Structure 1
């Protein structure tokens, strides 16, 4: 596929990195040559310096032969204009835009007759939804859903004394109540992926991805984690676009305090919120945090636009007694470095957003994609199409499918029923199949396996 990515920021760079190894031709456009040069040095991509909304720049980038345009620059206006130009002047089949302002998220405005955006991504909304899930599961490092919320996958850290720690995975079934089934989709040990089977022994400190029907996931979590008290009180550092949206999302269900360093912004956001308390001050001010009872907070969310400030504020909140802290961190190297230390969760906005983008880019019939472990792994929800003659998977047992190292079928959803599959589970047309990939270079092989083929060929 020939893909144009407009904007070489965190989202554009993460998307290019995710797609470049999958036989795609990627061209990146940005006005700043520095990030383009850095990406060209480590990825097999073409780069063009210029304004991505200009037809002449798009033409130089080869838009005439593009199959997909993804506009993720920092400017909503540039992204909209680029999609309009790509549709009306160059006939690009699919156009995706990142839009921060809710004013632009109007179906009529985005329709083919106007800005011609096929899919609009709002990063702040994605992050807000994601954080809400993490608060719902305070034990989790990552929470993602599939099949319209019927299936939940949770990443947790196994702890000393957990029921399964020191035991083989097959022992999990002995502890689960009748009618409750689950799958350990992957284990990461010292940053290395382990393909689990029934004999794999879980160790304390392992990062374990559990998958189950959403109604059963809390029961399953008890096997690996001490269940923490539900979150009631939380503090948010930063009242910018992300912080204010998260506060608005949570204020009716939790006791929320927001700390904002800019007095004028604090006053403005206070007028938008109904129940949350907004404080003008620095989140790195020890006196302020103690005065506002940081030790009594269940969770602290550092959501400013400054990575270093978020790291410092979250670390301070943890030292002062806050039970769990999260820091929004744009730089991937920082997120890898701090998580697991004083900071419980280092959250990359780009990795939260990229799943939605990949859902619309993957070449198989993909209903949902989630980027996991800051891009190191991926989980896909694929819709099975065709029949036994036109499909490589329909009418076949899982143990009859070709083995793809690093990829495993973790769940099957059939007519609303969640099935935790075993080797003899048969795949049927219409199934939604959740596949966990610990090795991203094999995603193209997974997509190919699930894509319908020419019905003239038989796979009997």
Structure 2
């Protein structure tokens, strides 16, 4: 696939790194020549220096015969104009743009179509991160939660802790504890090494477990791996930007929410917009403020400013003063591995949320959802099966008969609204929604080909 990526910031660079190893023809466009040259030295891709919305630059980047254009510059307006140019001048088939401004997003149905601004798919990092945080609040103790198949199937990442009934026992014991619940443990990460789960595998405290199950069974399975946290009811949020305000708005009906904002005018505006949230003008690194607002009673402290270091430091302080859990927004990928799982419980990455949404539109075949895992090394995707026994490599075949690369696991199937865990004897049928886990995303091209009917091979 020939892909043009506009913007070599963190999202554009991470996307290029994800796709360049998958036999794609990638061209990266940015104004910063030194940044482009550095990326070209590291990866097998083309670079073009110049304005992303310039017809000349787009032509030089190969827009006339590109399959996909992804506009992820720091400017919404440049992204919109670039998509307009690609549509009008070059008839680019698929155009994706990152749009951050909430005013544009409120009017998206009127603005973003071929008669106005021709964008096929809109990516909003703020909305994606807000949704991810809400999922983590809904499932206390999870490190990552992703929903598939109209939310009927879920993938959950969590740590095993002492106190979990299954810790210290073989995976096969889970069936004895939960005889009426089906599940699939697809990955165990132990001391940064992947272990292929088998029935005889002993779960140890500290293991990072990834499992797939029907969404209704998530909490029952989690309770076997760690002592299940009580529902989060008392929330403190730092930062009143789009994400902080969005999280507060969604939580304030069911939780006691406090929000700290450093800017006085913004704090006043938020106090008027948020009907059931206590908004404070202040600094989250102010110990006296945290003591006054009873930080020791807070279930989750969520730091969501645009400053990574400030988020980390305020979360560390909050935990030291008694907050039960700390969640932080982190822009720099290098920081995530350093902090998550230590004093700070969860790090949320806008880049990873955005990459997941972008990959959904990049993957070949009828792919409904993609989730990037382990900071881009692993992946889970939902594929709709098409074809019949004559044209498909999977239809009419048992899971055990499929030639899957090492590290690829079929987790679950949605068939006529029924969730089926993909055990060896399960036969794949047309129109099944199959959730697939890949411990190494380098195998993605093989999976794409496996699930495409022969008539539609690319």
1:158 counterpart residue number: 160
1:455 CA displacement:
8.9
Distance 1:276 1:33, change over 3 A: farther
Instruction: Normalising by structure 2, report the TM-score.
Output: 0.97
1:227 CA displacement:
0.7
C-alpha separation in 2, matches of 1:7 and 1:47: 11
1:187 counterpart residue number: 188
| RMSD between aligned residues | 1.4
Alignment of 1:22-37 (within 5 A): 22-37=22-37
* Runs of 5+ consecutive residues of structure 2 not aligned to the other structure: none
Alignment of 1:37-56 (within 5 A): 37-56=37-56
2:79 counterpart residue number: 79
C-alpha separation in 2, matches of 1:368 and 1:222: 27
Alignment of 1:110-259 (within 5 A): 110-178=112-180, 180-259=181-260
Distance 1:91 1:292, change over 3 A: same
* Runs of 5+ consecutive residues of structure 1 not aligned to the other structure: none
Q: Which runs of 4+ in 1 moved over 3 A?
A: none
Contact 2:261/2:283, CA 8 A, preserved across alignment: yes
SS at match of 1:395: coil
SS at match of 1:185: strand
1:268 CA displacement:
2.1
1:192 CA displacement:
2.0
CA deviation digits over 1:31-87, x for unaligned, max 9? 223433343232222222211011111112111121000111111111111111100
C-alpha separation in 1, matches of 2:34 and 2:145: 34
Higher mean alpha-carbon deviation, 5-14 vs 360-369, is at 5-14
C-alpha separation in 1, matches of 2:399 and 2:254: 43
1:61 matched to 2:55? The reply is no
SS at match of 2:90: coil
C-alpha separation in 1, matches of 2:208 and 2:200: 17
Instruction: Normalising by structure 1, report the TM-score.
Output: 0.96
1:367 counterpart residue number: 368
CA deviation digits over 1:163-198, x for unaligned, max 9? 2222221221111042x1111111111222222122
1:223 CA displacement:
1.0
Higher mean alpha-carbon deviation, 301-310 vs 191-200, is at 191-200
1:93 counterpart residue number: 93
SS at match of 1:89: helix
Contact 2:163/2:227, CA 8 A, preserved across alignment: no
Contact 2:162/2:226, CA 8 A, preserved across alignment: no
2:349 counterpart residue number: 348
SS at match of 2:83: helix
SS at match of 2:395: coil
2:17 counterpart residue number: 17
Higher mean alpha-carbon deviation, 44-53 vs 329-338, is at 44-53
Higher mean alpha-carbon deviation, 157-166 vs 123-132, is at 157-166
C-alpha separation in 2, matches of 1:235 and 1:14: 31
C-alpha separation in 1, matches of 2:346 and 2:35: 27
1:275 CA displacement:
1.3
Contact 1:9/1:35, CA 8 A, preserved across alignment: no
Contact 1:236/1:243, CA 8 A, preserved across alignment: yes
Distance 1:20 1:141, change over 3 A: same
